[in-house]
Amino acid sequence: MKVTREDSGNCQTVLTIEAEPAEMDKSLDAAYHHLVKRVSVPGFRKGKAPRSILVQHIGQGNLMEEALEHLVPDLYRQALESEGIEPIARPELEVVRTEPLVFKATVSLKPEIKLGDYHGLRLEADPVPEITGEEVNAALEQFRERQGAWVPAERPVAPGDLVTMDVEASVDGKPWLSRQGVVYEVDEGSSLPVPGFASQLPGIEKGGEKSFNLTMPDDYPVTDMRGKEGAFKVTVTEIKEKQLPELDDDLARSAGHDSLAEMKTKVAAELAAQAEARSRSELKQKAVDAVVEISEVNYPPVLEDGEIVALLRDEAQRLGFRQVEDYVKITGKTQEELMQALRPVAQKRLTQGLVLGKLAEQEGIEISPAEVDGKVSEIADDAEDKDKAREFFSLPQVKQSIEQSLHTQKTMDRLLEITAGKVENTTKEE
C-alpha cells in the first residue's frame, strides 16, 4: 500500500491510497471464496464453481465490487495508523481507478481552537432598571386575566371573545376547510387560519352567518395556495366573554398571599429577580462574544453540517412534527433551502460551543459525580412523584445531559469571574 497525504484546510486531510497488486489479488481471491458459497452456478454445487466460471456467471464487475467493499476500509484503517491520524467522522471515499486500485479518502480532523487573551477582557453588566409601579400593575393584570372565566354573552361577537363556529372555506374555487364546532379566540392580531380572518368576526350575532373573501398571503405554508383568493362562510353558534375577578385581597389569597399588598411586594421582587437574571444572561452572551472575537476557530465542514441537521430536527420537534420530512413538506421549501437558512445560526452556535469547550479545558473545569447526583436530587425533590423523577433523572443519558449542562454553567460562571477581574491568570500559554 502506498499513501500520500495532502492537508486541504478546514481541518481536513486527503489521503490518496494505492493498493499493491498482491493486496488486490488477495482481496479478489477472498471475494471469490465469499461469493462462490452464496451464488448458484448452473452445473456446480454451491462453493465448487471455479473462479473463471463464477466470473462468467456474475461478471468481473460484481467480483471487483465485493473485493473493494472489504479492501477499501481495510486499507483506509491501515493508512490512518501509518499516518497517525485520528478522524472524528466517517471519511468521504472516492475510487479513482480499480486497476491498480487507487482511492481518495477525505478525512475530518479535530477542530483547532486558539483562544485569545481572554484573561485581559473586562466587562460589566448594564445597570438593572428599577421595577416601576406600572410594571407591577401590568403583571397583576396578567394574573387577573389568567384567572378569568369564560361566560356566555348575549350580544354580537366582540374582539377578545371566545366563539364556537362552523367554518366552510374554498380557495380558488376548490374546497379547503369544512369544520364544525371550531372554538376560536377572536384576537384581531392573529394570522390563523389566515391574516384578517379574526377581524371579520366582530358584529356577528349568535346563530348568524357571514361570508367574506380573503387573499392568501404570499408566504402561506401551502405553496399552491399563495396569492389566491379564499372564500369563507362562518356560522357562529356560541359567544363567550371573559369575566375577570376583582383585583383584591380575595384574589391575592387564591394565589397564596395574605393580602393584595403582600402580593404586590412579592410580584415586584419576582420582576426584579427576572430583570437581574436577564442582565446576567446578556452579560454572559457579551462575554462569550468577546472571547470568540479574539479567538481563532477552525473546524471541518462535517461538524457544521451536523449542527444544521440538529437545528432542523429541533425546529421540527418544537412545532410538533415527529419527522423532519413532514415539517419540510408544510414549509413549501426544500430541505436544502431550510438547511442553508440555518447555516449562520449553526456556525455561531458551533463556534461558541468550541470556544467554551476550549476555555473549560484551559481553566480545568470539571464536574464531579457528587455534583451531578446533587442536581438530580434537587430536581427530583421539586417533582410531585419524587421516586419516579429520581429514577428517570438517574438514567445514564439523562445524567450525562445534566452533567453537560452543569459543565456549561460552571464554565460561564468562571468566564464572568474572569471578565470581572476576580480570577488570576494561572493558565499556561500553548
Q: What is the pLDDT of residues 112-134, one digit of tens each?
A: 999 999 999 999 988 999 999 99
Strands (E), 99-255: 101-108, 112-114, 149-152, 162-171, 174-185, 209-215, 229-243
Q: How many CB atoms lie within 10 A of CB 24?
A: 19
Set of cell numbers at residue 3: 499513501
Running DSSP on this structure, what letter comes out for residue 187? -
Omega before 195 within 30 of 0, i.e. cis: no
Q: Reply yes or no: is the peptide bond before residue 193 cis, omega within 30 of 0.
A: yes
pLDDT confidence of residue 97? 92
Grid coordinates of 99: 486497476
* Confidence at residue 155, expressed as pLDDT on a 0 to 100 scale: 96
Q: Would you state the pLDDT for residue 426? A: 65
* Secondary structure (3-state) at 46: coil
Closest CA to 408 of 287, 245, 323, 274: 287
Q: For the chain, what's the residue count?
A: 430
In 3D space, the residue among 109, 14, 35, 18 whose CA is nearest the CA of residue 71 turns out to be 18
The secondary element (H helix, E strand) that includes residue 18 is strand 12-18
pTM for the full predicted model: 0.76
Sequence-ordered alpha helix ranges (H) in 132-220: 133-146
Instruction: Tell me the C-alpha distance between 297 and 293, whole Å.
Output: 10
Q: Which residues of the chain have pLDDT under 50?
A: 429-430
Instruction: In whole angstroms, give the CA distance from residue 36 to residue 415.
Output: 64
* CA 143 – CA 271 distance, rounded (Å): 13
CA–CA dist 417, 426 (Å, integer): 14
**How far apart, in whole angstroms, are the C-alpha atoms of residue 200 and residue 189?**
12
pLDDT confidence of residue 31: 92
User: Are 194 and 232 contacting, i.e. CB atoms less than 8 angstroms apart?
Assistant: no
* The pLDDT value given to residue 427: 62
Instruction: Give the cell for residue 116.
Output: 485569545
Backbone angles phi, psi at 132, to 5 degrees: -90, 165
